[in-house]
Amino acid sequence: MSNKYRFVTKFFLQSICFVISFGALTHNSSSLANGGSDYSIRNGGTVFWGVRTAGGGEIITNEIGFEYGIGTNETSLLYENLVFDEQDVGKTFTVTATEDPDFNLIVEKLTNGIIDDVFLNLTFANGDKIESTTSDSLGNTDFQGWEINSIDLVINSLEITTPGNDPNGDGNWTQVTYDVESIINVTKVPEPSPLGGLLGLCCLGGITLLKKFT
């Protein structure tokens, strides 16, 4: 093998080693955005927002509802067609685009690069809203760059009592105390790798050298 081909071969090998080394140095596993005061990171692939509160209203019932939404939009909601009772304690209710057509609208809000508040309304089966809890924010950013696969509602505890504390003294009251979690399951969207561009530049340089020696 002539010296010029040895040189070009050596150039290619060194270039490939450089690209591999550069990739090893610059590859960092991404972490979720800080979840603010209410959302917290769990298991690297989910964030959860825990809600513990109580409410009541002038109705006698043993069933309630939850509405999960973003910002001030109370028309695109998750879980609004479900009814919950004390038998649902310990259960997880998962929503994707298959279960709820509003899922994609919620995901669009959560990944648009703008900080949006998340709210969870507690309602009675007749549609009356009796409690609304709002997270402070999703932190310094939203989930831009992350793919949201599903959103879970976990019922940790739920107590529905009638007439409860009966503030009006007429027996027409239902008291609700609940502990739930909203869990967002995410996957990091792969970022374009710089390795392809570096390898292309190295190949271009090698071809240029090869033409020069031939």
Report the C-alpha gap between 96 and 190 in whole angstroms: 21
Give yes or no for a cis peptide into 167 (omega within 30° of 0). Answer: no
Query: What would the DSSP string read from start to end of 8-66?
Result: HHHHHHHHHHHHHHHHHHH-----PPP-TTTEEEETTTEEEEEEEEEEEES---S-EEE
Structure tokens at 163: 């007439």
- Give the distance between the most distant pair of CA atoms in the chain: 102
- Each residue's pLDDT tens digit, 39-81: 666 666 677 777 788 788 888 999 999 989 887 778 889 999 8
CB of 182 within 8 A of CB of 52? no
pLDDT tens for 86-144 read 999 999 999 999 999 999 999 998 888 887 778 888 888 666 777 666 654 444 347 88
Cα angle 146, 92, 33 (rounded to 5 degrees) comes to 25
CA nearest to 32, candidates 159, 188, 158, 177 = 188
* pTM reported for the whole predicted model: 0.68
Sheet with 146-161, side-by-side order of all strands: 39-42, 46-57, 174-188, 146-161, 92-95
Question: Distance between CA 20 and CA 72 in Å, rounded?
Answer: 48
